Structure 1
Amino acid sequence: MIAGLHPRPGERRPPVPPPAGPARSGEDRRSRTSVRAAGLLLGAASLLVAGALSLSVGTKQIPLDDVWKALFSPTGTENDAIVRDLRLPRTLIGAAVGAALGLGGGLMQTLTRNPLADPGLLGVNAGAAAAVVTAISVLGVTSFTGYLWFALAGAALAATAVQVLGGGRFATPVRLALAGTAVNAALFGYVNGLQQWDLNTLDEMRFWSVGSLAKRDTDLLLTALPLLVAGTVLALALARPLGALALGDDHARALGTRVRRTRVLSVLAITLLCGAATALCGPIGFVGLMIPHAARAFCGPDPRRLLPFCALFAPVLLLVSDVLGRIVVPPSEIEVGTVTAFLGGLLFIHLVRRRKVAQL
């Protein structure tokens, strides 16, 4: 008999541990589920806090109990007017625009497989700016409602141009990035040239082009809302095929994904989301760059989870940035686009310096 196969009389063999693989896999799944649940709770709580701060903090500080009364039992006081007429539309637009930019950023980074990609890479911001500056200079448009439609049209045309130059139905992530860079450079050159030629256009464009939530009303939001909803529904519907596409074109086709259609529809969703957001508030950069990185810490890279997390976290960033802009240099304000550019620039430098940026 071979020694060790049977215990000696009176000897107790130590218990054999269960196989580590399945148990560890189950523990990992439970851990990931717990992290995602914690992320959802954190995002929801942060959004409530950010919304409350946006309604309460400003040139005039309004206590939260007065904010509550202004929303649900107004009596016609000055605080009621400030909350209902100024800060509530600003908060709602900030939440909607933030969610759109976050979704657009998640889509763009998944589509191009580039952790440094931003929705502006498709020419959305440049196209909107070129259309608005043309409307101001040539047609004399001065209202935000007019800006809205021209910005939407410009964003759609620029995104279509990028798609066509990138290869149309045969576009690849690299071609899209190169085409977007070229279109952005050409359109922003046109914008700068027209502003220098027409000083009135420069004055009118200055406020819109920096990106701001101020002086917008709910009528603008209602006008753009159908486009935002359509872009959101389309983005979430594309989550599963985008997850397959992230494995590579060949793997995606093997899983039954229509690669070309998925890319074209993704570009359409980004155009609807970011075009409407840019039309509402002007070009606000870096939100679509920052938020997907924060969301991945809770949900990983799977677009089915990443996109909803982006839509939840992005409004928090935009509203908090807007609040910071109100309190840094009172009684003046720093526009939200400037604050997000500062924060995004710091993150961009950090990401570029990381050795494993290609694995994000």
Structure 2
Amino acid sequence: MLFKNNRQKWTGLAVAMIILLLLMCASIVYGYTETSWRTAIAAFTNFNGSNEHIIIQSVRVPRAFIGAAVGASLAISGVLMQTLTKNPLASPDIFGVNAGAGAFVVIAVTIFSIGNLQLFTWVSFAGAAIAAITVYAVGSIGREGLTPMKMTLAGAAMTAMFASFTQGLLVLNEAALEQVLFWLAGSISGRKLDNLTAVLPYLVTGWIASLVIASRMNVLAMGEDVAKGLGLNTAFIKISIGVIVILLSGGAVAVAGPIGFIGIVVPHLTRSLIGNDHRWLIPLSGMLGGVLLVAADIASRYILMPQEVPVGAITAIIGTPFFIYIARKGFNGR
């Protein structure tokens, strides 16, 4: 653990916030269309209607804010899921949220011929929410109630079902594949601030709620029996976590598509820096999640210029080796 006392933790949180703001500024300046920091400033202080100013205001600013919000939401969702399930690999993509959102978007395109990006947002949000609720409900069936193993298996089953359903629909309708392929790969390119503002109330509610229950998360992390012995209403906390995950991961996927690995990588990285105290773990994970996604989005613009790589592919490149490491570490620890 790098940051040991509260002063160091506040410093770490402040540094992460500064890095995130700097990367958001860099996201506004750098890309295929050449602009400078001076041009970016002028776009807000002395707008002249030029192509560069329009791109900065209507394309890059939304990408920067969406990247920060989505990255933070996915990272916090990962923290909550890992604590709830006692599973180091728990994340929105493992628990079927991404697959559910993707399936609902494909249904909207192939069956109902919906092509509006704003409607995509709400359809995918509904799919993510239904997938999360279904996994939670299926994992709660039985005499033992909700257990980490049952919830993990339920998530894997729902992911497989939604993925198979999505692939089947796309095989039957190749035209729909062209419309949703870039979204299914995970991308914040082409999104407008309207897409973010539509789900922002849900994201903000989730961020605040996760901080409110942070101290109770510390008790829950000590184990079910210990938590109950200390007077914690574990059922209420588990339901609260499920609702927060729906708000955060569902809203994030609704805006940017199924972006994976952030919910796995960032919580583990944050724990190595700040420990397991959720009062610090949750806000720092949010900051670092935004840092990772915004940095990945900047990199996605340069790898195959003038074409852009979906940011979900960049996070997969970063996250896959880490996923293998955590999986091996987990198996070796058993």
TM-score, normalised on structure 2?
Answer: 0.94
- Superposed CA deviations along residues 83-109 of structure 1, whole A, max 9, x for unmatched, are 111100111111111111111111111
Which residue does the alignment assign to 2:294?
A: 319
Which residue does the alignment assign to 1:264?
A: 239
C-alpha distance in 2, partners of 1:252/1:30? 26
Amino acid at match of 2:48: T
Which residue does the alignment assign to 1:286?
A: 261
Residue 274 (1) aligns with residue 233 (2): no
- Superposed CA deviations along residues 46-84 of structure 1, whole A, max 9, x for unmatched, are 112211210111002311122122133323333211111
Which residue does the alignment assign to 2:66?
A: 93
Residue 177 (1) aligns with residue 155 (2): no
Deviation at 1:263, TM superposition (A): 0.9
Amino acid at match of 2:223: G
Is the CA contact 2:2–2:273 (under 8 Å) kept in the aligned structure 1?
no
Please give the residue correspondences for 1:70-219 in structure 2 after superposition, counting only pairs within 5 Å.
Answer: 70-167=43-140, 170-219=145-194
Is the CA contact 1:291–1:313 (under 8 Å) kept in the aligned structure 2?
yes
Pairing partner for 1:228 from 203, 216, 223 = 203
Pairing partner for 2:224 from 235, 243, 249 = 249
- Superposed CA deviations along residues 196-218 of structure 1, whole A, max 9, x for unmatched, are 11112222221110011111111
Q: Which secondary structure state, in structure 2, belongs to the residue aligned with residue 122 of structure 1? A: coil
What is the aligned residue count?
332
Is the CA contact 2:3–2:274 (under 8 Å) kept in the aligned structure 1?
no
Distance 1:234 1:137, change over 3 A: same
Cα RMSD, aligned residues only: 2.0
Which residue does the alignment assign to 1:3?
A: none
**More RCO (CA 8 Å, sep 6+):** 2
Is the CA contact 1:110–1:303 (under 8 Å) kept in the aligned structure 2?
no
Deviation at 1:277, TM superposition (A): 0.7
Deviation at 1:283, TM superposition (A): 0.2
Which residue does the alignment assign to 1:16?
A: none
C-alpha distance in 2, partners of 1:213/1:31? 36
C-alpha distance in 2, partners of 1:223/1:175? 33
Deviation at 1:147, TM superposition (A): 1.0
C-alpha distance in 1, partners of 2:96/2:309? 25
Deviation at 1:350, TM superposition (A): 2.5
Q: Which secondary structure state, in structure 1, belongs to the residue aligned with residue 301 of structure 2? A: helix
Which runs of no fewer than 5 residues in structure 2 stay unpaired?
none
C-alpha distance in 1, partners of 2:230/2:46? 55
Q: Which secondary structure state, in structure 2, belongs to the residue aligned with residue 120 of structure 1? A: coil
Amino acid at match of 1:185: A
Please give the residue correspondences for 1:18-33 in structure 2 after superposition, counting only pairs within 5 Å.
Answer: 31-33=4-6
C-alpha distance in 2, partners of 1:122/1:109? 11
C-alpha distance in 2, partners of 1:171/1:259? 11
Is the CA contact 2:3–2:273 (under 8 Å) kept in the aligned structure 1?
no
Deviation at 1:31, TM superposition (A): 4.2
Q: Which secondary structure state, in structure 1, belongs to the residue aligned with residue 215 of structure 2? A: helix
Distance 1:77 1:29, change over 3 A: closer
Per mean C-alpha deviation after superposition, the further-off stretch among 304-313 and 68-77 is: 68-77
Please give the residue correspondences for 1:301-316 in structure 2 after superposition, counting only pairs within 5 Å.
Answer: 301-316=276-291
- Superposed CA deviations along residues 175-220 of structure 1, whole A, max 9, x for unmatched, are 1111111111111111111111111222222111001111111111
Is the CA contact 1:59–1:331 (under 8 Å) kept in the aligned structure 2?
yes
Which residue does the alignment assign to 1:333?
A: 308
- Superposed CA deviations along residues 4-23 of structure 1, whole A, max 9, x for unmatched, are xxxxxxxxxxxxxxxxxxxx
Is the CA contact 1:71–1:83 (under 8 Å) kept in the aligned structure 2?
no
Is the CA contact 2:258–2:312 (under 8 Å) kept in the aligned structure 1?
yes
C-alpha distance in 2, partners of 1:186/1:30? 42
Amino acid at match of 2:83: T
- Superposed CA deviations along residues 118-145 of structure 1, whole A, max 9, x for unmatched, are 1223321111111111111111111111
Which residue does the alignment assign to 2:214?
A: 239
TM-score, normalised on structure 1?
Answer: 0.87
Amino acid at match of 1:73: N
C-alpha distance in 1, partners of 2:208/2:268? 22
Which residue does the alignment assign to 1:57?
A: 30
Which residue does the alignment assign to 1:69?
A: 42
Per mean C-alpha deviation after superposition, the further-off stretch among 55-64 and 208-217 is: 55-64
Instruction: Decide which structure has the larger Cα Rg and report it.
Output: 1
C-alpha distance in 2, partners of 1:172/1:201? 38
Distance 1:357 1:150, change over 3 A: farther
